[in-house]
Structure 1
Amino acid sequence: MTIGIIGAMQEEIKLLSESMTIKESKNIGMRNFYVGDLFGKDVVLVFSRCGKVAAASTVTTLIETFGVNLVIFTGVAGGADKSLNIGDIVIADKLVQHDMDASALPPFRKFEIPLLGVDTFEASPKMTALAKLSAHHYISESMKADVAECYLKEFEITTPNITVGTVASGDLFVADIQKVQSLSREIRNLKCIEMEGAAVAQVCYEHNTDFVVFRVISDKADKEAGINFPKFIEKTASHFTCGIIKQFINEAG
């Protein structure tokens, strides 16, 4: 099995790249794809850049050029569920493109992808369960040794909540609580909002390839969404993603 791992920001995959034995690097479509060994598994690691088009282009290359069998997309996201706090982890079982709306053209529904006939992309239950188990393992066994206590205190993180639910993606950095509330009314079990996951899910759906999307909550997707964002990614979220992926790929075989 070859696993493709993607992050939308360089900082989100920095620790993974430092843990990897890189055997080859290929520049395709203005992106560097690093081929090698990560925690004893064959992987291709890549920084996609932000947004749905960037993510879709990157995952297409992973599948068609490198022949990956499983795609992992990770990083941070804004929380939509009021019960979630900074540092909590969302495992996507369903993904929706919240900015897709062709409903002015009958018979399309809002969020439906024209000509595919679906408005939601579902992750494999097996992979979702494994991702949740891996997150629990990291939080209980490694987090406190991995992340400096001062940063856990700064972001008021004790024992992060791990939840499975819907992730909404769109080419918009949401920092408007009214927008969050509107999407929460329209999208069942919405947990978080980001800019890439559902595009990755669509490409994997069209190529019959397994995928996992998990996100670390960095903000509440409100007017305070930018506060401490770079520091949180570097000092906390990047450790979470690296540790969870380490456990996940070891279990995935």
Structure 2
Amino acid sequence: MKIGIIGAIEEEIKLLMEEIEILSEETIGKRTYYKGSLFGRQIILVYSRCGKVAAASTVTTLIQHYGVDLVLFTGVAGGGNSERKIGDVVIAKKLVQHDMDSTGIPGALRFEIPLLKKIYFETEPPLLKKAKESAEHYINHQLEKELDLKLLKEFNITVPKVVVGTIASGDQFISDRNKINALNSQIEDLQCVEMEGAAVAQICYEYGVSFVVFRVISDNADENAHYNIKRFLEKTAGYFTRGIIKQLISELG
């Protein structure tokens, strides 16, 4: 199995970069793709940069040029409801583009992708189960060994929750609780908001490639989001990413 791993921002995958045994690297479309061995698997590792177009372009290259069989997309996200706390991990059961609105087309529904007639893109249940178990394993057995207790206390992280639910993507950095509340009233089981996952899921769906998208909550998508995400990215995010992906890769057949 050949696996493509993507993070939107370099900090999200920097610890994976330290682990991968690079066999070759190639720049395509201003993105560098690192091909090599990671935790005993054949991997292509890349950061896509932010936004749906950037993510879609990157995953298309992984599929067409490198022939990956599975795409793992990871990184941070803003909380999508009042129950999500910094440090919680969201595994996408399904993904939706919250800024897609083609209701001006007769018969189109809100969030529906024109011509595909799909609103949500779903993760395959076996992969969903493995991803959830992998996140739980990291939190229960590795988190406190890797992250300083003082740092965890700074973000009020005690025992993070792993939840399965909906991830909403859009080309907006959301730092407004009113916007989150509005999305909650429109999107079922919303757990977090970010800028890439649903675009990755759509491309994988169109090519028939399996995918997993998981996110670590870095902020509450409120007025403090800009500060919290910066600090969380610098000090914390990479450990979650590395730990969960390491366990998930070991669980794959």
> Where do residues 170-181 of structure 1 align in structure 2 (5 Å cutoff)?
170-181=170-181
- Listed one character per residue, the Cα deviations across residues 166-203 of structure 1 (whole Å, up to 9, x for unaligned) are 00000000111111001000000000000000000000
Report the Cα offset of residue 116 of structure 1: 0.3
What corresponds to 1:190 in structure 2?
190
Tell me, in whole angstroms, the C-alpha distance in 2 between the residues paired with 1:198 and 1:141: 30
Preserved CA contact (<8 Å) 2:219 2:228: no
Tell me, in whole angstroms, the C-alpha distance in 1 between the residues paired with 2:140 and 2:233: 20
Report the Cα offset of residue 232 of structure 1: 1.0
Report the Cα offset of residue 217 of structure 1: 0.3
What corresponds to 2:205 in structure 1?
205
Tell me, in whole angstroms, the C-alpha distance in 2 between the residues paired with 1:191 and 1:228: 18
> What residue identity is the alignment partner of 2:212?
V
Report the Cα offset of residue 149 of structure 1: 1.4
- Listed one character per residue, the Cα deviations across residues 7-31 of structure 1 (whole Å, up to 9, x for unaligned) are 0000001000100000000100100
Say yes or no: does 1:122 pair with 2:135: no
Tell me, in whole angstroms, the C-alpha distance in 2 between the residues paired with 1:72 and 1:228: 24
Report the Cα offset of residue 237 of structure 1: 1.5
> What residue identity is the alignment partner of 1:35?
K
> What residue identity is the alignment partner of 2:148?
A
Report the Cα offset of residue 228 of structure 1: 3.2
What corresponds to 1:234 in structure 2?
234
Report the Cα offset of residue 90 of structure 1: 0.3
> What residue identity is the alignment partner of 1:158?
T
The TM-score with structure 1 as length reference comes to 0.99
Report the Cα offset of residue 94 of structure 1: 0.5
The TM-score with structure 2 as length reference comes to 0.99
Tell me, in whole angstroms, the C-alpha distance in 2 between the residues paired with 1:148 and 1:66: 38
Task: Please state whether the residue corresponding to 2:226 is helix, strand or coil.
Answer: coil
Report the Cα offset of residue 231 of structure 1: 2.2
> Where do residues 15-30 of structure 1 align in structure 2 (5 Å cutoff)?
15-30=15-30
Task: Please state whether the residue corresponding to 2:53 is helix, strand or coil.
Answer: helix
> Where do residues 1-253 of structure 1 align in structure 2 (5 Å cutoff)?
1-253=1-253
Q: Which runs of 5+ in 2 are unaligned?
A: none
> What residue identity is the alignment partner of 1:82?
S
Tell me, in whole angstroms, the C-alpha distance in 2 between the residues paired with 1:148 and 1:221: 25
Tell me, in whole angstroms, the C-alpha distance in 1 between the residues paired with 2:2 and 2:16: 16
User: How many residue pairs align between the two structures?
Assistant: 253
- Listed one character per residue, the Cα deviations across residues 134-180 of structure 1 (whole Å, up to 9, x for unaligned) are 00100111111111111111111111010000000000001111110
Tell me, in whole angstroms, the C-alpha distance in 1 between the residues paired with 2:219 and 2:97: 20
Tell me, in whole angstroms, the C-alpha distance in 2 between the residues paired with 1:2 and 1:11: 23
Tell me, in whole angstroms, the C-alpha distance in 1 between the residues paired with 2:148 and 2:207: 40
Report the Cα offset of residue 229 of structure 1: 2.1
Identity score, percent: 57
Preserved CA contact (<8 Å) 2:74 2:213: yes
